[in-house]
């Protein structure tokens, strides 16, 4: 096929690249084109329908593809149809969806397509009166074509009235016969949905999202678009299909019913508000720069699809796309969007033939050749388009090139925050992309812990767990919440996160165990100054493994990036464990009395307490050095995981050999043993009853502190103490499959005496 492509921007360069890949193509001419399509360009006035028709007749053109909206609104498709030449693009009647915003709003209301409250005006006073009547903030739009710049989003009433006056009064922005549209301002993320249309059938491309404001954090004037990406994270195929039906198919059906069948590309700009999706605008062509990101994802033949549209055979053509992601970053000239500087020489990294990362291409837009030198000729000069397996990779590879261009020529600039939801959160240091990647990494690990009792887990707003058929006459839920404390600071310093998840799980298991409960499920919270998905993934996989070992479920949780609360690199890990116990088995039992025996189980290290002092000592000593009296390095010993006591105590609990349990956490022996004793009772602990591990002996010596203080800061080698009746001690020790130590007894004197 011989094809003529009309247009001169980045969109048309991208379309040309896609058409050149078609085996159906025999020749391609571009009018007027830009230096990116220089080998294909022909000298022709694209705004003259007569010249376009004459060229097509003289050169036996089989199909005309129209990129920009101007020629379509001016009826080029109608002129070509009269001459018997096929055109991929809507008629002038159908192109009014973009050519007149007031027409588009009236059309949408007639056909039940949801949008904002709106009205159109040709005079200032009625417009101001409507503004006062509505009361809510509005958006002011020029009714006709404005190259993406005829939209003002005022900050207050004064700016709104000024925009109305400037657009309607002659001079300034206004002109005789001007019309504006006022629309109630909507809030929510924007999505660009683009579909191929053959007059009745619609086939949708991956949803895209662009960035209209010129400045970082969505500041400054509106532009034609400073960058885009596709697909949009968080929109699943079912949601995309629903949006396509509601906004694209409804428009095509409506145009057919109105006697103006829509053929070509239809673009719906949507806002996902709290009250549901709403129409922002229709465009009668590919978006720019949306075309640059959706076309690289198209795995089928673009020319075949276009022919299917003009021949009303789209239903028989599969519009297939890859699973990759694509991102485009616009490199603009200084002064844009007001008065862009022209004649800026494009530096080496932005020139054709430059060394580019795999999957990255340069799309030219506002460029020109002056004496053989490529220079800027408009506001949006270049598009750096990157297509990779993930959106994060696409943005990373694209910005490598963008940063090289802008560093080499300071008069060229780009927004540094193109990407999903990169708005005020991005300016505050929050990365949604990192959050999405963290969720992707942890989802499978979490789901592996789930059982038939999980009704709703990861991904839900709250976990749901089925408590039916627990086999208990009087089931009680027991819950405990805690954090890993400053142990995570040491983990960050040593970049050793593989045990932190187990720490918080086992801590929670032990805390419900002291009530006699077995764990059911856990909810976690990971908060970071700056999220690193790999670190979060490591922590959660460690949690999941510990949950499986304790026969409980990691039901779900929260991951939050809070740069104003936590320093970069810092992470806080917290968890809530929920367990269940039959009321008769609830601990501590009411028969705890003086003379009962304290039996200790060994700890696996510091567990999750005492790290503020331990870190200070370790930093002075050196974490890579071995602990005196042991072989391993100090850092590894300090980060040994907090162990669980569920398995070793299960048989003794089942046999009712335990009256109470004390989990030695913050406050050590002095604070934790009294928590499981009735009022009026205390305990005596013989600190020589177990061998103090070398790590604790070294810590006490380095800190130069006494016996009492050391046993209040650290567990000193005993992590759990069971209160056992004097006559049950041997049975208890026989039921516990590990070494235990008789460390003391319950006394009739409140407090804990260390001897």
Give the percent of the chain with pLDDT over 90: 66
Task: Label residue 422 by pLDDT band (50, 70, 90).
Answer: very low
pLDDT above 70 (res 437): no
Q: What does the alpha-carbon distance between residue 332 and residue 590 come to, in Å, rounded to a whole number?
A: 76
Please report the domains of the chain, with CATH numbers, ordered by start residue: 2-95 (3.40.50.20), 96-230+257-316 (3.30.470.20), 325-427 (3.90.600.10), 432-585 (3.30.1330.10), 597-754 (3.90.650.10)
Can you give the pLDDT at residue 502? 93
Can you give the pLDDT at residue 362? 97
Contact 329, 289 (CB under 8 A): no
Residue 517 tokens read as: 């409960």
Handedness of CA 621, 622, 623, 625 (dihedral sign): negative
- Strand pairing report for 86-88 and 63-66: parallel
Contact 502, 543 (CB under 8 A): yes
Judging by beta carbons within 10 Å of its beta carbon (0-12, 13-18, 19+), is residue 577 exposed, middle or buried? buried
Within 10 A of 338 (CB to CB), how many other CB atoms are there? 10
Can you give the pLDDT at residue 628? 83
612-615: list long-range contacts, CB under 8 Å, 24+ apart.
612/486, 613/699, 613/703, 613/713, 614/490, 614/638, 614/699, 614/714, 615/486, 615/489, 615/490, 615/493
Can you give the pLDDT at residue 429? 40
Provide the b/e sequence for 666-685 (b: ≥16 CB within 10 Å).
eebbbebbbebbeeebbbbb
Residue 99 tokens read as: 């050519």
Residue 264 tokens read as: 């070509």
Residue 228 β-bridge partners: 210, 328
> Tell me: the pLDDT tens digits for 3-44?
999 999 999 999 999 999 999 999 999 999 999 999 999 999
Provide the b/e sequence for 558-568 (b: ≥16 CB within 10 Å).
ebebbbeebee
> Tell me: the pLDDT tens digits for 711-734?
999 999 999 999 999 999 999 999
Can you give the pLDDT at residue 558? 77
Nearest to 121 by CA among 101, 104, 137: 101
The average pLDDT across 661-679 equals: 92
Contact 122, 177 (CB under 8 A): yes
Cis status, amide bond into 337, omega within 30 of 0: yes
Element (DSSP H or E) covering residue 16: helix 10-20
Can you give the pLDDT at residue 398? 95
- Report pTM: 0.58
Q: What does the alpha-carbon distance between residue 250 and residue 266 come to, in Å, rounded to a whole number?
A: 11
pLDDT above 60 (res 424): no
Nearest to 596 by CA among 440, 747, 432: 747
Can you give the pLDDT at residue 718? 96
Task: Label residue 425 by pLDDT band (50, 70, 90).
Answer: very low
Q: What does the alpha-carbon distance between residue 94 and residue 156 come to, in Å, rounded to a whole number?
A: 35
Contact 50, 78 (CB under 8 A): no
Contact 580, 513 (CB under 8 A): no
Three-state SS at 86: strand
pLDDT above 60 (res 493): yes
Give the percent of the chain with pLDDT over 70: 93
pLDDT above 80 (res 459): no
Task: Label residue 170 by pLDDT band (50, 70, 90).
Answer: low
Can you give the pLDDT at residue 744? 96
DSSP state of 674: G
Q: What does the alpha-carbon distance between residue 539 and residue 534 come to, in Å, rounded to a whole number?
A: 9
Can you give the pLDDT at residue 278? 93
Average pLDDT, the chain: 89
Strands laid side by side in the 571-582 sheet = 475-483, 571-582, 518-528, 553-561
Tell me which of 60-69, 423-432, 515-524, 739-748 is least confident.
423-432
Residue 565 tokens read as: 């609360």
> What is the Cα Rg of the chain in Å?
35
Only one residue has tokens 């028969």, namely 591
Can you give the pLDDT at residue 222? 81
DSSP state of 555: E
Tell me which of 170-179, 180-189, 312-321, 359-368 is least confident.
170-179
Task: Label residue 74 by pLDDT band (50, 70, 90).
Answer: very high
CB within 8 A of 90, min separation 6: which ones?
Answer: 72, 77, 97, 260, 262, 263, 264, 266, 284
Query: 60: left (phi > 0), else alpha (psi -120 to 50), else beta?
Result: left
Q: What does the alpha-carbon distance between residue 145 and residue 608 come to, in Å, rounded to a whole number?
A: 64
Q: What does the alpha-carbon distance between residue 665 and residue 671 come to, in Å, rounded to a whole number?
A: 9
Element (DSSP H or E) covering residue 579: strand 571-582
Measured in whole angstroms, how far is the alpha carbon of residue 660 from the centre of its chain?
Answer: 46
Task: Label residue 445 by pLDDT band (50, 70, 90).
Answer: low
Position with higher pLDDT, 317 vs 221: 317
Q: What does the alpha-carbon distance between residue 361 and residue 353 come to, in Å, rounded to a whole number?
A: 10
CB within 8 A of 692, min separation 6: which ones?
Answer: 716, 717
Contact 251, 268 (CB under 8 A): yes
Contact 300, 314 (CB under 8 A): no
Q: What does the alpha-carbon distance between residue 388 and residue 384 come to, in Å, rounded to a whole number?
A: 13
Position with higher pLDDT, 416 vs 151: 416
Q: What does the alpha-carbon distance between residue 455 and residue 464 come to, in Å, rounded to a whole number?
A: 5
pLDDT above 90 (res 562): no
Nearest to 693 by CA among 634, 646, 649: 634
CB within 8 A of 129, min separation 6: which ones?
Answer: none
The average pLDDT across 314-320 equals: 93
Q: What does the alpha-carbon distance between residue 29 and residue 362 come to, in Å, rounded to a whole number?
A: 20
Contact 363, 432 (CB under 8 A): no
Q: What does the alpha-carbon distance between residue 5 and residue 28 come to, in Å, rounded to a whole number?
A: 7
Element (DSSP H or E) covering residue 425: helix 424-427
Can you give the pLDDT at residue 137? 85
Only one residue has tokens 């009772």, namely 681
Nearest to 754 by CA among 699, 706, 693, 691: 706
Q: What does the alpha-carbon distance between residue 706 and residue 723 come to, in Å, rounded to a whole number?
A: 26
Provide the b/e sequence for 393-427 (b: ≥16 CB within 10 Å).
bbbebbbebbebbbeebeebbbbbbbbbbbbebbe
Q: What does the alpha-carbon distance between residue 593 and residue 661 come to, in Å, rounded to a whole number?
A: 14
Cis status, amide bond into 231, omega within 30 of 0: yes
The average pLDDT across 605-618 equals: 89
Position with higher pLDDT, 570 vs 414: 414
Can you give the pLDDT at residue 423? 40
> Tell me: the pLDDT tens digits for 144-156?
776 555 788 887 7
Q: What does the alpha-carbon distance between residue 352 and residue 405 come to, in Å, rounded to a whole number?
A: 13
CB within 8 A of 570, min separation 6: which ones?
Answer: 488, 489, 492, 528, 529
Query: 595: left (phi > 0), else alpha (psi -120 to 50), else beta?
Result: left
Contact 342, 378 (CB under 8 A): yes
pLDDT above 50 (res 432): no
> Tell me: the pLDDT tens digits for 294-303?
999 999 999 9
Maximum pairwise Cα distance, the chain: 111
The C-alpha angle 594, 596, 598, rounded to 5 degrees, equals 120
Tell me which of 129-138, 219-228, 477-486, 654-663 is least confident.
129-138
The C-alpha angle 267, 293, 231, rounded to 5 degrees, equals 80
DSSP state of 60: T
């Amino acid at each position: 096929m011989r094809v003529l492509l009309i247009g001169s921007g980045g969109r048309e360069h991208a379309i040309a690249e896609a058409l050149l890949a078609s085996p159906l193509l025999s020749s391609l001419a571009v009018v007027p084109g830009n230096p990116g399509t220089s080998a294909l360009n022909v000298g022709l006035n694209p705004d003259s329908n007569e010249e376009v028709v004459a060229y097509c007749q003289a050169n036996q053109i089989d199909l005309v593809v129209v990129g920009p909206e101007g020629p379509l609104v001016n009826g080029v498709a109608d002129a070509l149809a009269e001459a018997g030449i096929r055109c991929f693009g809507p008629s002038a009647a159908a192109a009014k969806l973009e050519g007149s915003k007031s027409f588009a709003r009236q059309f949408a209301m007639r056909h039940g397509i949801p949008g904002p409250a709106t009205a159109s005006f040709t005079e200032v006073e009625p417009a101001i009166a409507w503004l006062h009547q509505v009361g809510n903030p509005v958006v002011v739009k020029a009714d006709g074509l404005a190259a993406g710049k005829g939209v003002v989003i005022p900050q207050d009433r004064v700016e709104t009235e000024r925009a109305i006056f400037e657009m309607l009064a002659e001079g300034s922005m206004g002109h005789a016969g001007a019309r504006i549209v006022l629309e109630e301002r909507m809030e929510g993320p924007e999505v660009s949905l683009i579909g191929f249309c053959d007059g009745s059938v619609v086939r949708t491309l991956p949803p895209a999202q662009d960035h209209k404001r010129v400045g970082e954090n969505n500041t400054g004037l509106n532009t034609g678009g400073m960058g885009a990406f596709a697909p949009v994270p968080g929109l699943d195929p079912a949601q995309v299909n629903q949006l396509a039906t509601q906004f694209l198919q409804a428009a095509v059906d409506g145009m057919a019913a109105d006697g103006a069948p829509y053929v070509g590309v239809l673009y719906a700009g949507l806002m996902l508000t709290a009250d549901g999706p709403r129409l922002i605008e229709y465009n009668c062509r590919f978006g720019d720069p949306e075309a640059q990101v959706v076309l690289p994802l198209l795995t089928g033949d673009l020319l075949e699809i276009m022919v299917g549209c003009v021949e009303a055979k789209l239903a028989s053509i599969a519009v297939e796309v890859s699973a990759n992601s694509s991102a485009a970053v616009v490199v603009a000239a200084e002064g844009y969007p007001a008065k862009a500087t022209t004649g800026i020489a494009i530096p080496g990294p932005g020139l054709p033939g430059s060394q580019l990362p795999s999957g990255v291409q340069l799309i030219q837009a506002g460029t020109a050749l002056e004496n053989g030198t490529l220079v800027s000729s408009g506001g949006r000069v270049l598009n750096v388009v990157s297509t990779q397996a993930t959106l994060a990779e696409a943005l990373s590879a694209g910005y490598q090139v963008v940063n090289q261009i802008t560093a080499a020529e300071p008069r060229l600039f780009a927004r540094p925050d193109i990407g999903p939801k990169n708005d005020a959160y991005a300016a505050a240091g929050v990365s949604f992309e990192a959050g999405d990647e963290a969720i992707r990494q942890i989802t499978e690990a979490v789901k592996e812990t789930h059982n038939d009792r999980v009704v709703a887990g990861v991904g839900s707003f709250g976990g749901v767990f089925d408590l039916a058929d627990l086999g208990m006459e009087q089931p009680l839920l027991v819950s405990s919440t805690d954090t890993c404390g400053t142990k995570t600071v040491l983990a960050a310093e040593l970049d050793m996160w593989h045990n932190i998840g187990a720490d918080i799980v086992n801590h929670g298991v032990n805390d419900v165990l002291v009530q006699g409960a077995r764990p059911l499920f856990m909810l976690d919270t990971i908060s970071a100054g700056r999220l690193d998905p790999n670190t979060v993934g490591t922590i959660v996989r460690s949690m999941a493994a510990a949950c499986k070992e304790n026969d409980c479920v990691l039901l779900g949780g929260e991951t939050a990036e809070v740069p104003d609360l936590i320093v970069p690199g810092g992470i806080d890990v917290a968890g809530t464990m929920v367990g269940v116990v039959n009321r008769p088995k609830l601990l501590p039992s009411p028969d705890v009395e003086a003379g009962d025996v304290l039996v200790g189980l060994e700890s696996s290290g510091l567990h999750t307490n005492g790290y503020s002092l331990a870190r200070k000592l370790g930093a002075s000593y050196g974490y890579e050095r071995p602990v005196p009296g042991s072989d391993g390095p100090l850092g590894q010993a300090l980060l040994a995981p907090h162990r669980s006591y569920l398995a070793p105590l299960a048989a003794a609990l089942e046999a009712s050999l335990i009256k109470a349990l004390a989990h030695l956490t913050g406050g050590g022996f002095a604070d934790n043993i009294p928590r499981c004793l009735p009022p009026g009772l205390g305990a005596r602990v013989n600190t020589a009853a177990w061998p103090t591990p070398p790590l604790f002996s070294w810590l006490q010596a380095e800190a130069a502190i006494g016996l009492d203080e050391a046993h209040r800061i650290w567990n000193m080698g005993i992590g759990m103490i069971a209160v056992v009746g004097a006559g049950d001690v041997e049975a208890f020790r026989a039921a516990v499959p590990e070494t235990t130590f008789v460390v003391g007894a319950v006394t009739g004197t409140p407090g804990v005496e260390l001897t």
